[in-house]
Chain A
């Protein structure tokens, strides 16, 4: 009984903390999903978040570009973000950056895909979010009916973001500084197994975008030391199937041996991101009809 009362109280407080956050990731995420209208959304993992310099892209494309990449997250969350955004407005372009572990293959830390829905839980009353959470795990859906579980862990950052205005990176892009020091071990690709669940969401993301007449392009940003992009074959096939443009820079030799452009094996540093963003902007201008996108 006491716990039930506490749970109702926690739910009420957290709902308010979420909508009244002054800054930080709480405000940033809530604004992205519930308030702001951006022309171009960059979706994907930390590789999206740290590789697409939004200020540079905005200036070059003449559009308002927002980087909605999330550390350690992939296509399942991206689908949720796009779905929620489409409930309010229609962006002019979606750029999806692919990360093989989060978007194509089984990954040890996936935790049955539950890691990808954590940021969506506070928005569980949205139909698209409900469908994703139920698809990932019915058990999870049942659990989050308890406010304390729904706001598990996030309550602290909600509280902090209501007390002080934590600085966040404008337009979502978070540059990484410093150069990679050691390469580390090369991981074998022998034991990679395709994850049909993630690939299903890649297809769904494209379908959702296309059915709402929002152009989508899929990109694979550079990976240090990558020799080939064979790993991305399943994504290439999906893109072919839906007629979606795929920019494959994963093993682009212009990048993959430049240690000074990388923070670590998977992430470009600020300098690398700037060079890559220029490159991707040129690719978009070359292949997409920017005037049509701008006037949409």
Chain B
């Protein structure tokens, strides 16, 4: 069930109250409650897909258990490697089948057809289980952490079931590590007013940027991208910039809501976003965007490949492979692969030229770098958004060749005003948090904070797109 669904907000107060009504000494019952709620909410989509969630959980639980077994540990390295590969493959099987089977089947069939061989397997017409990429990566990540000795295997099945299915994060992350979440699941806690208040603030901000900004921008983006051949290059460019902002507000909005909900229940999840569009390079962007996935890829792909502790050429290859995996993770389409490759290549170029960091004091130069990084990221998002690489290329070519006025009229007056107000608030907050955090103390005043919170809440109700828009990243 989506966090923006009205029904969720009817149910959540009951979850909150029942959870905190259970005394801390009966922590097991609290965990049972959260587990039942997590599975019920997950089953709200397609009940049968809870079996996939359960299957991935059991495979990785058993995998972790075996890999942490002293007898297996004491075996030779190759034997242990075979065991871990076997369980990784088993853990990834549902993801591979549901998400990549059709893509592989189609591409292999086309490849064979091009050399005159006609062979194809029947396609699968199944919906992809919601959040499969997220919970699979979290569960497999846990198992690999056990294998590398970064964490101990979790023996308590209840704790582990909750670790994989915890409802605030199961559908779109953040992808937590065992070290982060399992100790919090184990430890009984009492309600912390400060943490709860902070959680509500995260929740409100997430709702605001998702419902007031992302879903409104989405109206423009969807209209233009659906018929991009009919629009001028400047309109397509504007739609691309809007998509850049939309996907941030959509995904970060979800993450902030997930973090907020978890905080109200006493859990701290990793912050997935740190003002990514104020990055001064693409490398910097990836330290701020989808931080939990970047961390996963760094630990489970980049470092095992050798990381940066090898030759320059090998390091560049490692970066490229890591971002190729990132592209593939996002979806079974060449557009995602091209998107991943663009980010990989841009980072390699930055590394080769030493442009990842800027420690100078020139504000102008910093602003230019932020602007250039933003445009490069926006360019890559075009591939991410389009349904085919060919369409993305046509749209990009149109931006540079089909001049004309940008069509603002796609928005009606109200929507344009809402978007402008929303974006102004977003830019103001992010710029303040990035550059003036300890300044402008006026905004830290208690009354001002309450006033802002009430205003944001009313704006969500008055200006938010409340008609059930889905989160973009839920599809991944």
A residues with CB within 8 A of B: 2-3, 6-7, 10, 109, 111-112, 114-115, 118, 139-140, 142-143, 146, 148-149, 151-157, 160, 181-182, 184, 264
Q: Which residues of A sit under 8 angstroms from B461, Cβ to Cβ?
A: 7, 146, 148-149, 152
CA A186 to CA B50, docked complex, whole Å: 39
Complex Cα distance, B412 from A224, in Å, reads 26
User: Does residue B104 face the partner (Cβ distance < 8 Å to A)?
Assistant: no
Interface residues of B in 453-476 (CB under 8 A from A): 454, 457-458, 461-469
Q: Is the CB of A153 within 8 A of B468?
A: no
Given contacts A111-B467, A152-B462, A155-B462, contact A160 B413 (CB under 8 A): yes
Find out whether the CB atom of A114 lies under 8 angstroms from the CB atom of B230.
no
**Is A182 a contact of B230 with CB atoms below 8 Å?**
yes
Interchain CB contact under 8 A, B463 and A153: yes
* A-binding residues in B (CB < 8 A): 6-7, 222, 227, 229-230, 412-415, 417-418, 454, 457-458, 461-469
- Does A2 contact B454, Cβ atoms closer than 8 Å? yes
Measured between alpha carbons, how far is A115 from B465 in the docked complex, in Å?
11
Contacts of B412 in A (CB 8 A): 157
| Option from B6, B222, B230, B454 in Cβ contact (under 8 Å) with A139 | B6
By a CB distance below 8 angstroms, the chain B residues around A160 are 413-414
Residue contact B462 to A181, C-beta cutoff 8 Å: no
Identify the interface centre among B412, B461, B465: most chain A CB within 10 Å of its CB: B461
Residue of B nearest to A153 (CB): B414
Given contacts A3-B458, A184-B229, is CB(A154)–CB(B468) below 8 Å? no
Q: Is the CB of B7 within 8 A of A139?
A: yes
Are A153 and B418 in touch, CB under 8 angstroms?
A: yes
B468 touches A156 (CB 8 A): no
- Give which listed residue, B229, B415, B462, B465, contacts A182 with CB less than 8 A: B229
Residues in A neighbouring B457, C-beta threshold 8 A: 3
Cβ contacts A to B, 10 pairs, < 8 Å: A10-B458, A111-B468, A114-B468, A139-B6, A146-B461, A148-B458, A152-B463, A152-B464, A153-B465, A156-B463
Q: Which residue of B lies closest to A117 (CB)?
A: B467
Q: In the docked arrangement, what's the CA distance between A109 and B417, Å?
A: 23
- How many A-B pairs fall under 8 Å by CB? 61
Q: Quote the shortest CB–CB distance from B248 to chain A (angstroms).
A: 22
Q: Report the minimal beta-carbon distance from A150 to chain B, rounded to whole angstroms.
A: 10
Main secondary structure of the interface of B (DSSP, over half): helix
- Please state if B414 and A154 are interface contacts (CB–CB under 8 Å): yes
Inter-chain pairs besides A139-B6, A156-B418, 18 sampled, C-beta below 8 Å:
A3-B454, A3-B457, A114-B467, A140-B6, A143-B466, A148-B458, A148-B461, A148-B462, A152-B463, A153-B465, A157-B412, A157-B414, A160-B413, A181-B230, A182-B229, A184-B227, A184-B229, A184-B230
Which of chain B's residues has its CB closest to A71's CB? B412
Contact A153 B462 (CB under 8 A): yes
Return chain A residues, CB-CB under 8 Å to B415: 153
Cross-chain contact B414 with A156 (CB below 8 angstroms): yes
Question: B414: which A residues are within 8 A, CB to CB?
Answer: 153-154, 156-157, 160
Query: How distant is the Cα of A151 from the Cα of B466 in the complex, in angstroms?
Result: 11
Contact A6 B418, beta carbon cutoff 8 Å:
no
Given contacts A148-B462, A149-B466, contact A156 B230 (CB under 8 A): no
Residues of A with C-beta under 8 A to B418: 153, 156
Instruction: Chain B residues near A139: list those with CB within 8 A.
Output: 6-7
Which A residues lie within 8 Å of B227 (CB)? 184
* Residue of B7, B227, B414 with most partner-chain A CB within 10 A: B414
Q: Which residues of B contact A7 (CB under 8 A)?
A: 461
CA of A182 to CA of B457, assembled, Å: 44
Contacts of A2 in B (CB 8 A): 454
Which residues of A are found within 8 Å of B469, using beta-carbon distances? Answer: 111
Given A142-B6, A148-B458; A115-B467 close (CB under 8 Å): yes
Task: Collect the chain A residues with CB atoms within 8 Å of residue B468's CB.
Answer: 111-112, 114
Taking the nearest CB of chain A, how far is it from the CB of B281, in angstroms? 38
Q: How far is the CB of B234 from chain A (nearest CB, A)?
A: 16
9 nearest CB pairs, A to B:
A148-B461, A156-B414, A114-B467, A157-B414, A139-B6, A148-B462, A182-B229, A111-B467, A143-B6
**A151→B459 CA distance, assembly (Å):** 12
Contact at B417–A156, with CB atoms within 8 Å?
A: yes
CB distance from B12 to the nearest CB of A (A): 15
Q: Give the distance to chain B from A86, nearest Cβ to Cβ, in Å.
A: 28
CB of A153 to closest CB in B, whole Å: 6
Query: A180 — nearest CB in chain B belongs to which residue?
Result: B230
B230: chain A residues at CB < 8 Å are 181-182, 184, 264
Most buried by B among A3, A142, A156, A264: A156
Which residues of chain B have C-beta atoms less than 8 A from A114's C-beta?
A: 467-468
The residue in chain B whose Cβ has the minimal distance to the Cβ of A142 is: B6
Chain A residue at minimum C-beta to C-beta distance from B468 = A111
Instruction: Give Cα A160 to B418, complex, Å.
Output: 13
How many angstroms between the C-alpha atoms of A143 and B464 in the bound complex? 13
Closest B residue to A115 by beta carbon equals B467
Report Cα–Cα, A142/B6, bound state, in Å.
9
Closest CB in chain A relative to B108 CB, distance in Å: 24
Which B residues lie within 8 Å of A115 (CB)? 467
User: Which residues does chain B contribute within 8 Å of A149, judged by CB atoms?
Assistant: 461, 466
- B61 CB, nearest partner CB in chain A, Å: 37
Identify the interface centre among A2, A115, A152, A181: most chain B CB within 10 Å of its CB.
A152
A10 to B6, CA, bound (A): 20
- Residues of chain A lying within 8 A (CB to CB) of residue B466: 143, 149, 152
CB neighbours of A157 from chain B (8 A)? 412-414
A118 to B465, CA, bound (A): 11
B465 — which chain A residues lie within 8 A by C-beta?
Answer: 153
Q: Are B229 and A151 in contact (CB under 8 A)?
A: no
How distant is A105 from chain B, measured CB to nearest CB, in Å? 17
Alpha-carbon distance between A154 and B468 when the two chains are bound, in angstroms: 17
Which of B6, B418, B463, B467 has the largest count of A CB atoms less than 10 A from its CB?
B467
**What distance in Å separates the Cβ of B230 from its nearest Cβ neighbour in chain A?**
6
CB contacts (< 8 Å) of B6 on chain A: these are: 139-140, 142-143
